[in-house]
Amino acid sequence: MRVRTFTAATMPDAMAQVRAEMGEDAIILSSQRSRRGVEVKAAAERRPAATLEKVDGA
């Protein structure tokens, strides 16, 4: 799971950053006001690694 913290002037700006970088399935772990505006901690599943199909010789 990937966890990142985003800081923006407003909550809509922070949510736009979350969606752009982590995707629509990201979940918000916490949010709080900060000196710089809003701080949002979000998490998302890691993107699945490309899987290789096994070749069966039988």
Q: Would the pLDDT of 55 be above 70?
A: no
Which pTM does this prediction carry? Answer: 0.74
Output the pLDDT for position 48.
52
Contact 2, 44 (CB under 8 A): yes
Q: pLDDT by residue (tens digit) across 1-52? A: 999 999 999 999 999 999 999 999 999 999 999 999 999 999 999 865 544 4
- For the sheet containing 37-44, what is the strand order? 2-8, 37-44, 27-34
Contact 31, 41 (CB under 8 A): yes
Among the listed residues 17, 16, 22, 19, the one whose alpha carbon sits nearest the alpha carbon of residue 3: 22
